[in-house]
Amino acid sequence: MLRKFDHKALYPLWILGILYLLPILLTNSPYYDDIGRSVYGYFSWGIDGRPLSDLAFALLNMGGPATNIAPFPQILGILILTSICYLLHLKLNPEHKMGWLIFTPIFLSPFFVQNLAFQFDSFTMALSVAFACVPVLVAGQGWLKLFLCALVCVVIALCFYQAALSAFIAVICLYVIFELNKYTLPLKLFSDISAAAVGMAVGYVIYAKMIVPVFVTSDYANGYNQLIGGLDDLTANINLTETVLKSFLTGFVGKIYLVVVAFALMSVLLMTGRMLKQANGASVKCINILLLVLALFTLLVCIPGPGLALKNVPIGPRVFIGFGFFVTGILAVSSFMLPNRAYLTNILSIILCIVSFSFIATFANATKSQDRLTEKVINEISAEIYKVGVDNIKTITVAGQMLYTPVADKAIMKFPLMRQLIPDYFNGPLAWGVVKMTELHIGRPQPSVARQQELINGICTMEEIANGGLYKIFYKDGDMVVSFLFTKCN
């Protein structure tokens, strides 16, 4: 394929990806689990059902213990994603010189910002999406070949990052949409769809029966392995998904996406009209129209992906991998509306690129601001530890949640989704700030959650040893409580 087509379009995609990632690279800030891995040197993706992530990062890291080699994994991750977008362009849309722009939302998705922010995970998450997309590159080359490729790639993708399963389903939907625009007969499409579906199903069974029982031991992963119990659970998951999507699709940005969807709807109507005018029989016309509608609907469902079927649906933005594929889908159908006016879709794609660039820059600057406040608080807490005496501090408990800086607060006002993205390292019993304090200064372990709650409830029986404005520090018998609750004790 690379020999047949001019691959110069790959270079602007690489440049676009690096420029997009630049705000995060310049911030160079460890993100949640990055802190624990940097401090304690663990990999521990395997216990969450991602054994290939352990292997891949160990190779990249030159063995253990895990050390922070950022921004190398993030740069590799964005190069992988942009390269797979180029290959999708060659497979699905090679006729249009600038057609690769349609696929940029896959890596420019505002929800994928969180994946790219991880200095460790970004590399393996990108690999998972890439492997999930590979089977579509062999679509149309025979049932058995597509089946085997789907089976192997699904297992590999799941072993890197389970949420990538939605990328596999979504990219097959993109293939169907592009083929329908080429008037491919339903029988051929059904053959490809069935090969991909059966391959995915067998691959998932292999993963669930052979990988999960051997590797998964963490409560975190087991908590997400329970299927919904009925319609009420499904409705709750849909409502959660709607809430997360609305937190981004709001204000001026929401209006921009509304225009893109409007173009797509008009294009769907025009495609439907063209299908009805085809020389094929009525049954073929109806099936093609039905396939188009189902493909678009499935792309929409792929935004939360398989999480919809889980009792404890993970609602972090990082699992909404399907959003970028959905936007690619609606841009694709928009390009079909006026085939000789492809530049109109290119303009829409560029506008969405600008939105994404603005979003990631806002995130990076808000994160930098919040990190500076966190380090200030850590320095002050550490000073109090030294005052009391390091040997006298046995445990540290965090009560409440640290306030956001004005910069972070404005980012959240503009994009409510930022509340789930911008780190707040002091946020209750599982505060990452304690781990970060271990990295920067001196840290102490946290007691059990039940013991922490007991200490918080009895905070007024403790001695207040510091008041930092944003927080107060209490101490008693070796237990220290850092409280952001503004509790008033008589």
Cα separation, 135 vs 375, in Å, equals: 45
**In the predicted model, is pLDDT for residue 6 greater than 60?**
no
Strands 479-483 and 395-399: parallel
**What's the pLDDT at 5?**
54
**In the predicted model, is pLDDT for residue 2 greater than 60?**
no
**What's the pLDDT at 1?**
45
Q: Dihedral through CA 273, CA 187, CA 330, CA 76, nearest 10? A: -160
**What's the pLDDT at 376?**
92
> Is residue 415 within 8 Å of 376, Cβ to Cβ?
no
Cα separations in angstroms, 266 against 38, 237, 375, 433: 50, 30, 51, 50
Weakest mean pLDDT among 17-26, 129-138, 280-289, 328-337: 280-289
**What's the pLDDT at 223?**
64
Sign of CA dihedral 58, 62, 65, 67: negative
**In the predicted model, is pLDDT for residue 25 greater than 90?**
yes
**In the predicted model, is pLDDT for residue 90 greater than 80?**
yes
Closest among 80, 70, 78, 2 to 35, alpha carbons compared: 70
**What's the pLDDT at 285?**
86
Cα separation, 85 vs 106, in Å, equals: 7
State pLDDT tens for residues 306-317. 888 877 766 689
Q: What is the mean pLDDT of the chain?
A: 91
Mean pLDDT highest for which of 192-196, 287-291, 429-433, 485-489?
A: 192-196
Weakest mean pLDDT among 33-42, 235-244, 245-254, 433-442: 433-442
State pLDDT tens for residues 188-207. 999 999 999 999 999 999 99
The pLDDT-based confidence of 218 (bands split at 50, 70, 90) is: confident
> Is residue 160 within 8 Å of 56, Cβ to Cβ?
yes
Cα separation, 302 vs 309, in Å, equals: 12
**What's the pLDDT at 441?**
66
**In the predicted model, is pLDDT for residue 472 greater than 70?**
yes
Weakest mean pLDDT among 211-220, 240-249, 304-313, 315-324: 304-313
Q: Please give the average per-residue pLDDT across 31-47, as a whole number.
A: 92
**What's the pLDDT at 207?**
95
**What's the pLDDT at 473?**
94
Q: Dihedral through CA 239, CA 244, CA 246, CA 249, nearest 10? A: -150
**In the predicted model, is pLDDT for residue 225 greater than 70?**
no
> Is residue 437 within 8 Å of 382, Cβ to Cβ?
yes
Task: Provide the percentage of residues in the chain whose pLDDT is more than 90.
Answer: 69
State pLDDT tens for residues 245-297. 999 999 999 999 999 999 999 999 988 888 888 767 788 889 999 999 999 99
Give the contacts of 82 (CB within 8 A, at least 6 positions apart).
Answer: 10, 13, 14, 16, 17, 107
Task: Provide the percentage of residues in the chain whose pLDDT is more than 70.
Answer: 95
